[in-house]
Amino acid sequence: MSGRVWGMLLVLCAAIFLEGVDVSMMGVALPAIQADLGMTTGELQWVVSAYVLTYGGFMLMGGRAADLLGRRRMFLFWLAVFMVFSGLGAFAGDGWVLILSRLVKGVAAAFLTPAGLSIITTSFPEGRLRNKALLVYAGTAAAGFSLGLVVGGLLTTISWRWVFIAPVIMTAAILAAAIVLVPKDEPLERSSGGFDLTGAISVTAAVLLLVLTVERSTHVSAAQTIGLLILSAALLVLFVITEKRSRSPLVRLGIFASGPLVRANLAAILFSGSFFAFQFIVVLYLQQLRGWSPLQTGLALLAIGVDAVLAPTLTPWLVNRFGNVRVIFGGLVIAALAYVLFQPMAMDWTYAAMFPSMILLGLAFALVYGPLTIAATDGVSGDEQGLAGGLLNTSFQFGAGVGLAIVTAVSTAVIGGATTSAAILDGYRAALLVPVGAAVLGALVIAVGLRRTSTQTPTLEPA
């Protein structure tokens, strides 16, 4: 690769690094935000959910925008929007302002991320070179998430507002570099034909309503919960009907004829849901129940960051040796084991007892995240790379939102009105059964493809 191509890849990696840092810093800062703004646990999960759900809901539209309007144009514009609304969150005096900031940042990320991913998949030919670029890209995202845990802890000890100020500074630097290094879009060969706005709104509304229904299920009647679920399902049906009739659909439904693509997206939903559910409960356990500081919490979770080393080194060798499907399956099994090992958590638990779960989860990330990115985009035509990348990222964000809602509902239901440490601990243990189940189900989904795996595997070399 030429120096300019390396520069482009570094800029795109910096952007996904920023996204990882932003998400993980927020996770560590949640208890401080709750204490300062007086938010309930249900309201607090929306600081994360507002971001991941608009991120996932508009990701498909973002993928089509990249394909139809220009990848560089979308990347630069929405990077700027991300920067502006990070600044808004820094000055939030009420919970709703913070949630609004996160909501718009989620929309910006929904257009920004698939644009960056599709720049990579269209700049590198399918095969060894593209796979290596994607694994470097995925490893960078993982590194951002891991370092964000520590950086978030450090910044939160000063003020949680620095968790919003830091991304402003980072985004400004990335934007300046991107203007120089990201190549201009080639002339579009086909008309954009407009956007399927109805499809984007219906699928986003359906997902938001589903998560809201799950989160509030412990506070409202069964009839109201069932009614909201029916309404969410009706919106999903509207989305499917819209896609069938639209001249320029948000999602070409025929793309789901690919079994590997469908299994990759289902696995992404379950893996992401399991991890975000785990992190949410563990952060509350360490800070609110055990009294650990944000910095101590970030350092405790830092072992997960081993994936930043393993993703570009061990993962390529394993994929080359065993193939994508087997590597993903192994990663999901390891994730389930990591969650099971955290079940005996107690008030006197030492970090030595927690460490096996953290290190195994880092290994699981290395084995699942990058290979899923490859599996979801392999064999997809160039003019639908943005769509394929958007689908995968939608699955990751949708899974995160649903996982957060379910663990919040389970822990709230078990704890009830109790305030004793023992009752709260029981609620957290019950909630941690959610990530165990999700990881096991994800492994079963991928296992379906084990017998259908092609004998050909991508040729990779460790970076």
Averaged pLDDT, 320-335? 92
Instruction: Give me the number of domains the chain comprises.
Output: 2
Q: When comparing pLDDT for 267 and 197, which is higher? A: 267
Beta carbons within 10 angstroms of residue 126's beta carbon: 16
pLDDT in tens, 33-86: 888 888 877 778 788 778 877 777 777 777 778 877 888 899 999 999 999 999
* Weakest mean pLDDT among 130-139, 269-278, 404-413, 414-423: 130-139
With a cut of 90, say whether residue 203 has pLDDT above it: no
DSSP-derived secondary structure letter, 450: T
In a domain, 242, yes or no: no
In a domain, 353, yes or no: yes
pLDDT in tens, 227-259: 988 998 999 899 889 888 887 787 788 878 777
Averaged pLDDT, 326-340? 96
pLDDT in tens, 303-317: 887 887 887 788 888
Residue-level pLDDT at 193: 53
In a domain, 298, yes or no: yes
pLDDT confidence tier of residue 415, bands split at 50, 70 and 90:
confident
Q: When comparing pLDDT for 353 and 136, which is higher? A: 353
Residue-level pLDDT at 461: 41
Provide the percentage of residues in the chain whose pLDDT is more than 90. Answer: 29
* Weakest mean pLDDT among 158-167, 203-212, 295-304: 203-212
Instruction: Specify the long-range contacts of residues 211-220, CB closer than 8 Å, at least 24 apart.
Output: 211/49, 211/53, 211/401, 211/402, 211/404, 211/405, 212/405, 214/402, 214/405, 214/406, 214/409, 215/42, 215/45, 215/49, 215/405, 215/408, 215/409, 216/42, 217/409, 218/409, 218/412, 218/413, 219/42
In a domain, 194, yes or no: no
Domain boundary among 182, 216, 234: 182
In a domain, 238, yes or no: no
Domain boundary among 167, 182, 197: 182
By three-state DSSP, how is residue 312 classified?
A: coil
Domain boundary among 158, 182, 206: 182
With a cut of 50, say whether residue 336 has pLDDT above it: yes
In a domain, 225, yes or no: no
Q: Are residues 63 and 148 in the same domain?
A: yes
With a cut of 70, say whether residue 455 has pLDDT above it: no
pLDDT confidence tier of residue 452, bands split at 50, 70 and 90:
low
Q: When comparing pLDDT for 187 and 182, which is higher? A: 182
Provide the percentage of residues in the chain whose pLDDT is more than 70. Answer: 91
In a domain, 90, yes or no: yes
Q: When comparing pLDDT for 20 and 127, which is higher? A: 20
Average confidence score pLDDT of the chain: 84
Look up the CATH number of the domain holding residue 392: 1.20.1250.20
In a domain, 460, yes or no: no
Host domain of residue 72: 1-182
Residue-level pLDDT at 451: 65
With a cut of 60, say whether residue 412 has pLDDT above it: yes
